Structure 1
Amino acid sequence: MNERQQAYFRKKLLDWKSEILSQSKLTIEQMQTDSLHLADPADRASSETDHSLELRTRDRQRKLISKIDSAIRRIDNGEYGYCEETGEPIGLRRLEARPTATLSLEAQEQHERREKVHRDD
């Protein structure tokens, strides 16, 4: 992977992280302003369910930020874009679709087949 490609993916990852963090701030602000002291029990239950779903989404995004940070570290170390299992380059189309990918498409498919076999036991 050349320097221009690395710079492109670094910017893509940093922009993605920034977007997630700004969405997270908006969620926190919204949750702080929303009133949980609703008179109607159905409205309160609906509001609490919405908050619970939003918090689960934010937890998944927190894990995604960790993967983004890991990808940026791999760029810094010169390891970005190479499969962790085979050492072969990960295709640019795969990285474009999933910038945090650590496995080539073939290795990922093989990994998923192994998971399916073990899950079916």
Structure 2
Amino acid sequence: MASVTGDDIDVLNKAKRALPRDYAPDENEDYMSDKQLNYFRVLLLEWKRSILEASVGTLQNLQDGPIREPDLNDRASSETDWGIELRTRDRQRKLISKIDAALRRIDQGEYGYCEVTGDPIGINRLIARPIATMTVEAQEAHERREKVSRDD
């Protein structure tokens, strides 16, 4: 399965906390009803907004100037921190493109259905990973195929 970092989970949880508390999707409802689609649209938009908001601080720090630590160890530590921060932002940039793709699937009526089998992905999986494009079974099969091709 695609790696999910603590930062991604934190930002997603922050987005979930910003949603109205009066509704949560339920497996007993009609699958991908208007209420569910609206819930996921708002969640995805809020998640994207949270990511963009977090990236503003990184951009501001980059614009404030280069690292000027007099001590070589301090400079190396600062450069390592910057490298980690920039990799995190790059990962989040890729996540935003996945969020945009999920929003397009909502608009096209394809959201919530596996791109491989066409089966419903499931509410609980979408709540946990709103950008999911495959059922758990299809994702596991995909990962097994990837592992076999890597091992060859």
The TM-score by the shorter chain falls in which range?
A: over 0.9
- Partner SS for 1:29: helix
Q: Which runs of 5+ in 1 are unaligned?
A: none
Matched, 1:69 2:93: no
What is residue 69 of structure 2 aligned with on the other side?
38
Task: Give the share of equivalent positions with the same residue, in percent.
Answer: 64
SS of residue paired to 1:101: coil
RMSD: 1.2
Match of 2:149 among 108, 114, 118: 118
Return the alpha-carbon distance in structure 2 between the equivalents of residues 39 and 15 of structure 1: 41
1:101 aligns with 2:141: no
Say whether residues 1:58 and 2:89 are aligned partners: yes
Runs of 4+ that moved beyond 6 A:
none
The TM-score normalised by the length of structure 1 is: 0.94
Partner residue of 1:21? Answer: 52
For residue 117 of structure 2, what is the aligned residue in structure 1? 86
Query: Structure 2 regions of 5+ residues with no counterpart?
Result: 1-31
Shift of 1:119: 1.8
Q: After the TM superposition, which of the residue ranges 31-40 and 111-120 deviates more from structure 2?
A: 31-40
Q: Displacement of 1:30 after TM fit?
A: 2.6
Tell me the matched-pair count. 121
- Higher helix proportion, which one? 1
Aligned counterparts of 2:47 and 2:120: Cα–Cα separation in 1:
23
Partner amino acid for 1:64? L
Q: Secondary structure at the match of 1:79?
A: coil
Cα drift, residue 34 of structure 1:
6.2
User: How far does the alpha carbon of each residue in 1:74-104 deviate from its partner, in whole angstroms, 9 at most, with x for none?
Assistant: 0001000011011111111111111001111
Q: Does 1:6 pair with 2:37?
A: yes
SS at match of 2:134: coil
